[in-house]
Structure 1
């Protein structure tokens, strides 16, 4: 199969903008990693007219292939924000067919190392989604929307699982629960208890709300370090608007309000009241307690 694709990627390799080319072959009948294509051809370029260009092929013999041409900038954004998780696995596990000046080799090392700065950002992103989702579970449970509460709890445990994987220094994979089973059995057990228990759905959700509350609160300070470090960069308290505009917060800005409220409730942040033009109305400001 690679022989049939060689003319395509050799042409791309001759382009001075191409940084590296990786091939990923399908190894199972159902392959979410390759979107069920028999082979993925990932071509990383310095710059291009489109940040992400995709082309599908059918090869002699009925095999299928997908070519992804991705700019370095977009790929790094995917890596930092988990915008397209498969791409990370493609880089880590793919076969390198072209590597300009060791670019792919360095990128593989970087992904395996998962630098602390990137890890803290990813933890904050998953923590924000987790807190917001968990709050929705409680609201749905209290209003007796049990099926919706159950569905949202599954999502919450998914965010918790991704957070657990990142804490251990790994990138979450597409086959997340198989990964979590090896890395964090306690989180995996929560998932099993939710989906496999013989208890009625209402009791399952109630028990899981208690378990999830403990799991989230014990991780809060470490998981929100990225945001807490930003807040600690100045002695004055921050308004929500100021934090919202901070460039480093943008990857999780949609979950920022939920994070601030949760961290305040848990005593990791404290609030100050600033007078406004309205009598008896104050603007909330946030600062670290330490």
Structure 2
């Protein structure tokens, strides 16, 4: 199949913005690795009009897909850990083109520095955990137990991902297989939710208590990235937080995370006069003394 795709990737490789080209072939009994395609052509470029450009091809009943991805977008995926298959493609795919050893160096960085992006990955997963838990508790208090159940499942999944990241690993598609080995306590919570014979209401009540305990015990690590980032500037507007190069990856979970850290005393709210005498601007400042004492900065 490689020879069929050669004209396509050679054309891409001739363009100055192309950094690397990888080909990945379907493995028997593992179609999901290539998203059910027989072959994946993964191309990384420095700049492009769109973050991800995709084309499908067909040759003698063989399905092929080409993904052209901006370097910025790839880095976001690696930081957030949102595209687990892409990590697998980078590690195990065949390199067809590599400008200035871009892919070789990227593989080396991922292999030799397993904590690459660990702080931001931890922060993002922790923010998602807080949101899912808060939403789940609200649903539980309104006796919407099935919807609360869905949120608890997601909360446990974020806890599982946090435990995997903490070990310097990449969360795999089969994250629970990983967690069973490295964090049996969290795996046991998952089993209790799925297999316990207690009523759904009772199971959820106990699990919310356990999850909240784990959130409190992980706040120190979960908040490190956002607090260290915010220390680079005295006072922040919410828009400045959303547009920061790293904090923007928190997306819709950012404001919930900030409110959580306000409750915990890590962030202080400052009121500044606005043009309207009846309202004030709400700005945010890290409690520098508290944070520096907690993190030995």
Q: Residue 105 of structure 2: SS of its match in structure 1?
A: helix
SS at match of 1:44: strand
Q: Which residue of 2 aligns with 1:164?
A: 163
Do the aligned partners of residues 271 and 50 (structure 1) sit closer, same or farther apart at CA in structure 2, a change above 3 Å counting? closer
Q: Give the CA deviation at 1:283.
A: 5.1
**Runs of 5+ in structure 2 lacking a partner?**
292-297
**Residue 239 of structure 1: CA displacement?**
5.7
> Partners in 2 of 1:149 and 1:116 — Cα distance?
33
Q: 2:255 is matched with which residue?
A: 257
Contact 1:114 1:170 in 2 (8 A): no
Residue by residue over 1:231-256, the C-alpha shift from the partner in whole angstroms, topping out at 9 and shown as x without a partner, is 4345x565656545544422215223
Equivalence for 1:100: 99
Q: TM-score, normalised by structure 1?
A: 0.85
- The structural deviation recorded for 1:73 is 2.6
Tell whether the 8 Å contact from 1:43 to 1:67 is kept in structure 2 after alignment: yes
Are positions 1:32 and 2:32 aligned together?
yes
The 8 Å contact of residues 241 and 248 in structure 2, kept in 1 or not, is answered as no
Runs of 4 or more consecutive aligned structure 1 residues displaced over 6 Å after TM superposition: none
1:126 is aligned to: 125
Q: What is the alpha-carbon distance in structure 1 between the residues aligned to residue 29 and residue 169 of structure 2?
A: 26
Unpaired runs of 5+ residues, structure 1, are none
Do 2:123 and 2:226's aligned partners in 1 also have CA atoms closer than 8 Å? yes
8 Å CA contact retained: 1:274, 1:284 = yes
Query: 1:135-164: per-residue Cα shift (whole Å, max 9, x none)?
Result: 011111111100000011111112222222
Aligned residue pairs total 286
Contact 2:91 2:107 in 1 (8 A): yes
Q: Which moved more, 1:157-166 or 1:26-35?
A: 26-35
C-alpha displacement of 1:124: 1.2
Question: What is the aligned partner in structure 2 of residue 177 from structure 1?
Answer: 176
**Aligned positions of 1:53-68 closer than 5 A:** 53-60=53-60, 62-68=61-67
